Copies of this chain bind each other. A is one copy, B any other.
Amino acid sequence: MFHVSRITHHILMKLGVDYYPEHWPQERWAVDAKMMADLSLTYVRVGEFAWGLFEPSEEEISFDWLDTAIDILRNEGLQLVLGTPTPTPPTWLTANYDVLQRDERGIVLNVGSRRHGCANNPAYQIHSQRIVTAMAQHYGSYPGIFGWQVDNEFSCHRTTRCYCDHCRRAFQEWAQKRYKTLDHLNEAWGTIFWSATYTDWSQIPLPMYSSAQQSPSLQLDFRRFSSDSWVAYQKQQIDIIRKYAPTHQITHNYMGLGDGNVDQQDYFDLAADLDFVSWDNYPQGAKGPDDIALNHDMMRGFKQRGYWVMEQQPGVVNWHPYNRPVPPGQVRMWSYQGLAHGAEAMVYFRWRAARYGQEQYHMGVLRHDGSKTRLYDEATQLHAELNRLPNISRTPAEVAILFDFSDWWTIQIDPHQHDFSYHKQVQAIYHHLWQAGISVDIVRRGATDLRAYKTVIVPSPILIDEAELETWQHYVESGGRLAITCRAFVKNQSSVWTDQPLPAHLDKLLGVKLDEYLGIPPDMECTVSNVAQTDIQSYQLWADVLEPTTAEPLMVYSNQYWAGKAAATMNKVGQGVAVTIGYLSEPFFASSVWQTLGLNELALPFNLPAGVEATRISFEGGGEGLLLLNHHESQTTVEFSQPVDALLSEQPKVTSLPLAPFGVEVVRW
């Protein structure tokens, strides 16, 4: 297992575009290819929505038009990424076979959009495999092909979970594989509750629309099953491509995560079969610049290696309720942000704004009429700068956040307090570290060796994993600094509550027992303070009331009836320290906790202006520095504690560095 992700040499961040030659007259293709080459692009992604064009009627398959387009593009030196076209089954397919998804009320998701096919539908699988086989056979040794993108944005439009009869049968088989016998399943799910004991596999339902809530155990396993269904669907295509195109790279384009939006697919599982992860970066959908950064780090973490931005927002988009302007310079800055976090390619979506269909208001590198937008100039500038800079790499992170989709889903299913969000907690933790200029790796829960990190933070690991406890114990004993937050180790892996005192099994490592756990409603003002009562902070949503055994308190609750009880503690174990944080606050870490976790040592030695992102970099051949990004539309100034060289603007030995709106700078200490 990897523990540190290094950014590859910067000039390896190549540029590219997503291109739909089929939308334009063939005579335009050469013009486009020439313009792309002028822009020094490397990659062009094509094909992922063109099934109906490849196979206009059943089994009548031809790639002639795409061959022509590819030939024109590769003749300009461009390399192709081929999208398998399965997100949009052709109209004859949906007309002749019922491959459509059903929602939780059993209502069909109709044709006319995309992602309406069900992963467990046999007809959809057969037809998907046939077109991918034909494509892989045809392009396996075709010149100019770099690799493949399987399908497009699995889980987009929240289509991971389908409630059709095929899914119900597949879920029953999945459950049988997981639990072997009905007795095991009934015990694991606690079906004794509300008389849900199953006496035949065929009785197992999907958690559909009902009078009241469904079993959290059933729900959690259905979420796992649904995620697994698309992993398997992807694997069917990967197996075909590997067979016919063994030298090609294979990826899939992920999306930025968020509750109620992109949260249905376990992205670690999906990464396992890929060569590398890609993602589609539309920063205006993020909560802020730190959330874009978090998503970049997530993507690097899902496979613990460099990744691609397969779709980079190029300007105004079309899918928000309000689609904001994108000022000059912002796309260039976003591109540098990818570089900072380990992106190996930056592919702009899309080459030219579409005249047809649902995305007409989505800007491209070119306008609808074929003229250049300002991004064309910004990308030109970016390419020149990348060639001018010395070779740099991202300095490895010394802090890890452990992340787990099952924990996320478990808390989503039963948050106890409506606004308690696992993912928002991760965002809050990350936000605090990001502001201090501390680099972070996202590591999957279950990682067995954490020694590369000075500090490891585990947000609300609600599901108990006793084996992992051993990892954590060893990590702390050998000098690690571990923080575990509220709601830790409450339920078994099937979302059944432990019969042990909380935090189950963790009490020795953490040196605390849980007196009480309390949800805090929004109208209740609650505070914590350090022991000396010099540092008072409000907190929200949750209070694990701690009873230290061997630990000592770092923070205590300072009002309400549990005032005086411990809120955060530290427990010295071997060479290290195990910290418990029982509440949620912003900023996330109180000063005493921050110091106990050694985060003060890892932070930048000067304050960053609000909205400025700093990434530690290493220069090839030695030397350290920062990549600085101004996410604000106004100018700001960074004040260093020592003079630095500003390489992009070629200013030596400055201590006060102005950053233009959306400005970027590379500094060397």
Residues of A with Cβ closer than 8 Å to B?
Answer: 22-23, 49-53, 56-57, 85, 88-92, 94-95, 101, 105-116, 156-159, 189-200, 202-203, 205-218, 316, 318, 321-325, 327-328, 353-361, 367-371, 414, 416-419, 491, 496-502, 518-522, 524, 560-561, 633
The answer to whether A195 and B51 have CB atoms under 8 Å apart is: yes
Write out the residue numbers on chain B whose beta carbons fall within 8 Å of the beta carbon of A518.
316, 325
Q: How far is the CA of A359 from the CA of B213 in the complex (A)?
A: 10
The answer to whether A199 and B88 have CB atoms under 8 Å apart is: no
Give the residue among A23, A192, A316, A355 with the most B Cβ atoms within 10 A.
A192
Known: A115-B212, A322-B521. A196 touches B416 (CB 8 A): no
Q: How far is the CA of A368 from the CA of B496 in the complex (A)?
A: 11
Q: Which residue of B lies closest to A159 (CB)?
A: B211
Write out the residue numbers on chain B whose beta carbons fall within 8 Å of the beta carbon of A107.
105-107, 209
The answer to whether A417 and B322 have CB atoms under 8 Å apart is: yes
Q: Give the Cβ gap from A287 to chain B, nearest Cβ, in Å.
A: 14
Write out the residue numbers on chain B whose beta carbons fall within 8 Å of the beta carbon of A328.
561
Q: Which residue of B lies closest to A562 (CB)?
A: B325
Q: Which residue of B lies closest to A215 (CB)?
A: B357
Q: List 22 A-B contacts (CB under 8 A).
A: A23-B192, A23-B193, A56-B197, A56-B199, A90-B195, A112-B214, A113-B211, A113-B213, A189-B356, A190-B355, A193-B354, A193-B356, A213-B358, A322-B417, A323-B519, A324-B519, A324-B521, A324-B524, A325-B520, A368-B499, A369-B499, A369-B501
Q: Which residue of B lies closest to A208 (CB)?
A: B110
Write out the residue numbers on chain B whose beta carbons fall within 8 Å of the beta carbon of A496.
355-356, 360
The answer to whether A355 and B499 have CB atoms under 8 Å apart is: yes
Q: Give the Cβ gap from A12 to chain B, nearest Cβ, in Å.
A: 32
Give the residue among A198, A207, A211, A322 with the most B Cβ atoms within 10 A.
A211
Write out the residue numbers on chain B whose beta carbons fall within 8 Å of the beta carbon of A215.
112, 357-358
Q: Which residue of B lies closest to A158 (CB)?
A: B211
Q: How far is the CA of A444 from the CA of B422 in the complex (A)?
A: 50
Write out the residue numbers on chain B whose beta carbons fall within 8 Å of the beta carbon of A111.
205, 210
Known: A325-B560, A357-B215. A196 touches B116 (CB 8 A): no
The answer to whether B499 and A210 have CB atoms under 8 Å apart is: no
Q: How far is the CA of A501 from the CA of B369 in the complex (A)?
A: 6
The answer to whether B157 and A211 have CB atoms under 8 Å apart is: yes
Write out the residue numbers on chain B whose beta carbons fall within 8 Å of the beta carbon of A501.
367, 369, 371
Q: Give the Cβ gap from A634 to chain B, nearest Cβ, in Å.
A: 11
The answer to whether B113 and A214 have CB atoms under 8 Å apart is: yes
Q: Give the Cβ gap from A588 to chain B, nearest Cβ, in Å.
A: 21
The answer to whether B497 and A354 have CB atoms under 8 Å apart is: yes
Write out the residue numbers on chain B whose beta carbons fall within 8 Å of the beta carbon of A88.
194-196
Q: How far is the CA of A595 from the CA of B193 in the complex (A)?
A: 55
The answer to whether A193 and B357 have CB atoms under 8 Å apart is: yes
Q: How far is the CA of A417 from the CA of B318 in the complex (A)?
A: 9
Q: How far is the CA of A276 from the CA of B381 in the complex (A)?
A: 64
Selected from B53, B205, B361, B419, the residue in CB contact (under 8 A) with A195 is: B53
The answer to whether A327 and B561 have CB atoms under 8 Å apart is: yes
Write out the residue numbers on chain B whose beta carbons fall within 8 Å of the beta carbon of A196.
52, 88, 91, 112, 357
The answer to whether A360 and B497 have CB atoms under 8 Å apart is: yes
Q: How far is the CA of A316 from the CA of B414 in the complex (A)?
A: 14
Write out the residue numbers on chain B whose beta carbons fall within 8 Å of the beta carbon of A114.
194, 211-212
Q: Which residue of B lies closest to A57 (CB)?
A: B199
Q: Which residue of B lies closest to A560 (CB)?
A: B325
Q: Give the Cβ gap from A609 to chain B, nearest Cβ, in Å.
A: 20
Q: How far is the CA of A499 from the CA of B324 in the complex (A)?
A: 23
Give the residue among A49, A111, A191 with the most B Cβ atoms within 10 A.
A111
The answer to whether B499 and A212 have CB atoms under 8 Å apart is: no
The answer to whether B519 and A197 have CB atoms under 8 Å apart is: no
The answer to whether B50 and A195 have CB atoms under 8 Å apart is: yes
Write out the residue numbers on chain B whose beta carbons fall within 8 Å of the beta carbon of A218.
112
Write out the residue numbers on chain B whose beta carbons fall within 8 Å of the beta carbon of A358.
193-194, 212-216
Which 3 pairs of residues, A with B, have the shortest CB-CB distance?
A: A190-B356, A193-B357, A88-B195
Q: How far is the CA of A284 from the CA of B91 in the complex (A)?
A: 47
The answer to whether A203 and B355 have CB atoms under 8 Å apart is: no
Selected from B112, B368, B521, the residue in CB contact (under 8 A) with A210 is: B112
The answer to whether A416 and B323 have CB atoms under 8 Å apart is: yes
Write out the residue numbers on chain B whose beta carbons fall within 8 Å of the beta carbon of A190.
23, 355-357
Selected from B105, B110, B205, the residue in CB contact (under 8 A) with A112 is: B205
Q: How far is the CA of A515 from the CA of B497 in the complex (A)?
A: 61
Write out the residue numbers on chain B whose beta carbons fall within 8 Å of the beta carbon of A361.
414, 416
Q: Give the Cβ gap from A272 to chain B, nearest Cβ, in Å.
A: 26
Q: Which residue of B lies closest to A357 (CB)?
A: B193
The answer to whether B95 and A192 have CB atoms under 8 Å apart is: no
Give the residue among A110, A156, A491, A499 with the most B Cβ atoms within 10 A.
A110
Write out the residue numbers on chain B whose beta carbons fall within 8 Å of the beta carbon of A192.
22-23, 53, 356
The answer to whether A92 and B357 have CB atoms under 8 Å apart is: no
Q: Give the Cβ gap from A414 to chain B, nearest Cβ, in Å.
A: 7
Q: How far is the CA of A57 from the CA of B499 in the complex (A)?
A: 30
Q: Give the Cβ gap from A118 to chain B, nearest Cβ, in Å.
A: 11
Given contacts A106-B107, A318-B416, A325-B518, 7 further A-B pairs with CB under 8 A are A52-B196, A85-B195, A88-B194, A94-B203, A107-B209, A115-B211, A316-B518
Q: Give the Cβ gap from A32 to chain B, nearest Cβ, in Å.
A: 14
The answer to whether B110 and A322 have CB atoms under 8 Å apart is: no
Write out the residue numbers on chain B whose beta carbons fall within 8 Å of the beta carbon of A360.
216, 414, 491, 496-497
The answer to whether A322 and B522 have CB atoms under 8 Å apart is: yes
Q: How far is the CA of A206 from the CA of B108 in the complex (A)?
A: 13
Write out the residue numbers on chain B whose beta carbons fall within 8 Å of the beta carbon of A217.
356-357
Q: Which residue of B lies closest to A419 (CB)?
A: B322
Q: Which residue of B lies closest to A371 (CB)?
A: B501
Q: Give the Cβ gap from A388 to chain B, nearest Cβ, in Å.
A: 26
Write out the residue numbers on chain B whose beta carbons fall within 8 Å of the beta carbon of A316.
518-519
Q: Give the Cβ gap from A631 to chain B, nearest Cβ, in Å.
A: 15
Q: Which residue of B lies closest to A354 (CB)?
A: B193
Q: How far is the CA of A95 from the CA of B204 in the complex (A)?
A: 9
